[in-house]
Every structure is written in C-alpha cells, then in structure tokens.
Homo-oligomer: A and B are copies of this chain.
C-alpha cells in the first residue's frame, strides 16, 4: 500500500524519481523523506538521485519546480479580467486557491508550501518567487478593483485576511483528523459544539467569498456614501 511503485514502463528514471519525490516529500518532508525510500518507490537504485540530480537538496528543488508546473498547468490562475465583476473574480480566486491547496492528491503543492512555512529550507525563496508571488499579486489586483480608494495597508490586511481563511483548510487538516480520533475514543463528547468542521469545497468558497466581501466593504466603506 504505502510502498506502491511508480509505473516503471511509461517514464524514464528521472521522471519516475520526480513523481516518487513529489509523493514522498509531500508525505514526510525534506528531512524525513529518505532517498532510499524514494528510489524504492521509483524502482530505482539508491544512487540514481545522485546521478540524475547531484544531491538530495538539488533533487528537492527540482521536485518543487515540477509540482508547481503541474499544478499551474492543470489549474491556471484566474485573472481579474476574465470576470464580469470583481466580486466574481474574488470568488473564483478563492475557489481556485482552495483547490490548489486541497485537491489532487491532497494538494502536493499546498502540502509542500505548508511544510516550507513550518520548516523553511534553502528552496523557500525560489518557491515564493515562483509560486506564491504570482498568486498574491493576482489576488492583489482583485482587491484593488474592489477597494480602489483604500489605502495600501488596508488592502494588504484584507488580502491577508482572505488568504488566511483559505490556508486554514490546508493547515488544519491534521486537526480535523485528530478530532475524529478523539471523538472515537470518547475523549470528546460527540455533542460538543463543533471545534472545527469540514464542508464541501463549493460551499466553503462561497462562505469565504461573502464573508470577505462584507469584511472588505466594512473596513473601507464606499467613499462618502454619495451616489
């Protein structure tokens, strides 16, 4: 089960290593993932990583780049101009970000970004530059369209509020699981008012978008109330 191999016949060793690395680095992190384990899943020799990538660190950097590429190819980032209103754009962006963070094999890009945040490696700067900056700039365009007259700092705070709400559902995943476990053990009564609760992604995107739009308009109300 956990040691299933990456299909040996359709890819060359380099590709198989990248796929196996994606999976195992996301599962266990840079330090805990062992080259031997990755090579086993890729049905390759332990020396293969060093031959194809030089060392573990450069290999990891390649894996991050690959994960980014695959995610963005599969789910292109939504741009402000594609939507009739900034409200629609915000909702689409939230939906897109939640998908990047959580779907497709539990979102390897999201998991790896979360790991880099908890435990930054030398690859973090590149990851931010390549993956995170474009996400944030796109959101910033949308926020600016929604709050054209707000101060820069207000926009930043709002942007961060939106991102924070989305990220929660990536970071809190293990907490959801732990709470299920505690309930099963009877350590936490099932009728306890919910600590946390999972919901459908559509519904979640709707909630975050409308919660945030209300928040946005409150902290930077339309100028004057004129018109």
Write the residues of chain A forming the contact surface with B, with a CB cutoff of 8 angstroms.
Answer: 28-29, 31-32, 114-120, 124-125, 128-129, 132-133, 136-137, 140, 144, 152-153, 155-161, 163-169, 171-175, 177-179, 181-182, 187-188, 192-197, 199, 204, 207-208, 210-219
18 contacts between A and B (CB under 8 A): A115-B118, A117-B172, A118-B171, A128-B178, A133-B188, A144-B193, A152-B193, A155-B194, A156-B197, A157-B204, A159-B194, A159-B196, A161-B211, A164-B165, A167-B168, A210-B218, A212-B215, A214-B218
Kindly list chain B residues whose C-beta atoms are within 8 Å of the C-beta of A174.
Answer: 116-117, 120, 124
Q: How far is the CA of A219 from the CA of B124 in the complex (A)?
A: 37
Asked, given contacts A167-B168, A188-B133, A211-B218, whether A140 binds B31 with beta carbons under 8 Å apart, the answer is no
Is A157 within 8 A of B207, CB to CB?
Answer: yes
Is B120 within 8 A of A115, CB to CB?
Answer: no
Kindly list chain B residues whose C-beta atoms are within 8 Å of the C-beta of A218.
Answer: 210-211, 213-214
> In the assembled complex, how far is the CB of residue A116 from the closest CB belonging to chain B, in whole angstroms?
7
Is B178 within 8 A of A124, CB to CB?
Answer: yes
Q: How far is the CA of A197 from the CA of B168 in the complex (A)?
A: 19
Q: How far is the CA of A167 from the CA of B153 in the complex (A)?
A: 19
Is B215 within 8 A of A219, CB to CB?
Answer: no
Q: How far is the CA of A143 from the CA of B155 in the complex (A)?
A: 26
Neighbour of A136 across the interface among B120, B196, B204, CB < 8 A = B196
Asked, given contacts A137-B192, A168-B164, A171-B114, whether A178 binds B120 with beta carbons under 8 Å apart, the answer is yes
> In the assembled complex, how far is the CB of residue A26 from the closest CB belonging to chain B, in whole angstroms?
11
User: A197 — nearest CB in chain B belongs to which residue?
Assistant: B156
Q: How far is the CA of A108 from the CA of B44 in the complex (A)?
A: 41
Q: How far is the CA of A172 from the CA of B119 in the complex (A)?
A: 11
